[in-house]
């Protein structure tokens, strides 16, 4: 996913780690611009982190506001939260709120609902790419049949179309899948088509229109709110501007009564926000398939057990990078 590791060190000897987006394009923004802006700034509270966030956002406006600049800013923001947590000997969740859920319900993202059921997950989301072939509709209905049977009546079924449907296709799919009580359709249109998504909310029955992983900062989510584009928001905390942006997005969501289920919420960066705020008690866990092997970039990250993921009590985000991969 083109992620970057950001490291911030303090003159008190603390080291904070963050996880940002944007890959190689993002690195010069952190090392060539943001680093010179934050050296010498104080980090004694989350308000200080917000001050730094605003400063970096403002200084990067000519080339930023969204996309790679915010993905870079996310990594810096998360590294500062990790640093502050370590300095205060608190988890990031406890820096956000004294009222922290210790265990979060997970849903699985991957094409194998039987594997998700075996893992004890109560929700399953399939990646779906539509090119218009009848066979793709047949396999989607077969997936829904398998998933509903495996997870039972109270399991949650979700479909991520990765912007491969259009308005008419989405309405038609709601009809084809009406028997399976799909919880949400995700990323049905491209993120600039807010009006189309707003329209769809009334055209797909009980299915929720979800999205937001390609939106950035509270400014972007203000626009989603203004248009009324989505039933469920899914900011990616390593892309949208970190915990600081996540908290501001949650303030807007609360005003509009919109549930927030962060993209990849079972990764520590989203998980601490989910645990400490009014986010839904639901974290996305990317499982891949049965034989998927992934590099372990972070040591200490919790894994779900029986469909629940617990946050660690270690300070900051409770993780350390696998140096051999850096
Ligand atoms: Mg998605």
Q: What is the pLDDT of residues 128-170, one digit of tens each?
A: 999 999 999 999 999 999 999 999 999 999 999 999 999 999 9
Quickly list DSSP for 61-130: TTT-SSHHHHHHHHHHHHHHHHHHHHHHT-BHHHHH-S---SEEEEEEESS-HHHHHHTT-SEEEEE---
* Dist. CA 237 → ligand 1 center (Å): 13
CATH number of 103-325: 3.20.20.120
Q: In the chain, pLDDT over 90 holds for what percent of residues?
A: 96
In order of 49, 222, 317, the CA distances from 17 in angstroms are 14, 29, 8
Q: Give the distance (Å) from ligand 1 centre to CA of residue 37.
A: 33
Q: Which of 168, 169, 179, 234 is nearest to 206 (CA)?
A: 179
Whether residue 290 is predicted with pLDDT greater than 90 in this model: the reply is no
- CATH fold of 4-90: Enolase-like; domain 1 (3.30.390)
Tens-digit pLDDT profile for residues 70-92 = 999 999 999 999 999 999 999 99
CB 129 within 8 A of CB 96: no
For residue 186, how far is its CA from the centre of ligand 1 (angstroms)? 6
pTM of the model: 0.97
Q: Please check the confidence at residue 292 and state whether its pLDDT lies above 90.
A: no
Rounded average pLDDT over 267-289: 96
263 given a catalytic annotation: yes
Q: Give the pairing type, strands 283-286 and 103-109.
A: parallel
Residue 14: pLDDT over 90: yes
How far is the C-alpha of 164 from the C-alpha of 157, rounded, in Å?
18
Strand (E) or helix (H) holding 131? none
Angle at 266 between CA 26 and CA 141, to 5 degrees: 100
Q: Provide mean pLDDT across the span 110-122.
A: 97
What does the mean pLDDT of the chain come to?
97
Task: Residue 76: count other Cβ atoms within 10 Å of its Cβ.
Answer: 27
What is the residue extent of each domain of the chain?
4-90, 103-325
Q: Which residues surround ligand 1, an ion (CB under 5 A)?
A: 160
pLDDT at 326: 86
Q: Do domains 4-90 and 103-325 have the same CATH topology?
A: no
> How confident is residue 293, by pLDDT bands cut at 50, 70 and 90?
confident
The alpha carbon of 265 and the centre of ligand 1 are apart by a number of angstroms equal to 12
One of 214, 218, 263, 272 is an active-site residue; which one?
Answer: 263
Straight-line distance from the first to the last Cα atom of the chain, in angstroms, rounded to the nearest whole number: 15
Ligand 1 center from residue 169 Cα (angstroms)? 18
pLDDT digits (tens, 9 = 90+) for 178-219: 999 999 999 999 999 999 999 999 999 999 999 999 999 999
- The pLDDT value given to residue 121: 97
């Amino acid at each position: 996913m083109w992620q970057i590791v950001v490291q911030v060190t303090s003159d008190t000897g603390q080291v904070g780690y963050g996880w940002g987006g944007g890959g190689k394009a993002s690195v010069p923004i952190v090392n060539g611009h943001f680093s010179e802006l934050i050296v010498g700034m104080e980090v004694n509270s989350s308000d200080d982190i917000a001050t730094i966030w605003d400063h970096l956002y403002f200084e990067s406006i000519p080339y930023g506001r969204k996309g790679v600049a915010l993905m870079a800013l996310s990594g810096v923001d998360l590294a500062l939260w990790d640093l502050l947590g370590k300095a205060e000997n608190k988890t990031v969740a406890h820096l956000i709120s004294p009222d922290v859920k210790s265990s979060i319900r997970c849903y699985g993202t991957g094409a194998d609902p039987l594997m998700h059921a075996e893992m004890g997950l109560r929700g399953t989301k399939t990646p779906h790419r539509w090119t218009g072939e009848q066979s793709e509709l047949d396999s989607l209905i077969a997936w829904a049949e398998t998933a509903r049977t495996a997870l039972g009546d109270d399991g949650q079924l979700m479909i991520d179309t990765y912007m491969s449907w259009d308005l008419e296709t989405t309405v038609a799919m709601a009809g084809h899948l009406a028997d399976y009580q799909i919880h949400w359709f995700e990323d049905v249109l491209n993120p600039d088509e807010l009006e189309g998504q707003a329209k769809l909310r009334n055209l797909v029955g009980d299915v929720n229109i979800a999205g937001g992983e390609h939106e950035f900062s509270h400014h972007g989510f203000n626009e989603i709110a203004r248009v009324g584009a989505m039933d469920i928001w899914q900011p990616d905390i390593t892309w949208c501007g970190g915990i600081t942006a996540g908290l501001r997005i949650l303030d807007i969501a609360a005003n509009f009564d919109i549930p927030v289920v962060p993209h990849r919420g079972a990764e520590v960066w989203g998980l601490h926000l989910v645990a400490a705020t009014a986010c839904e008690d639901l974290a996305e866990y990317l499982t891949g398939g049965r034989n998927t092997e992934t590099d372990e970039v972070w040591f200490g990250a919790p894994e779900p057990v029986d469909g629940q993921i617990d946050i660690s009590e270690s300070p900051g985000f409770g993780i350390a990078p696998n140096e051999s991969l850096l």
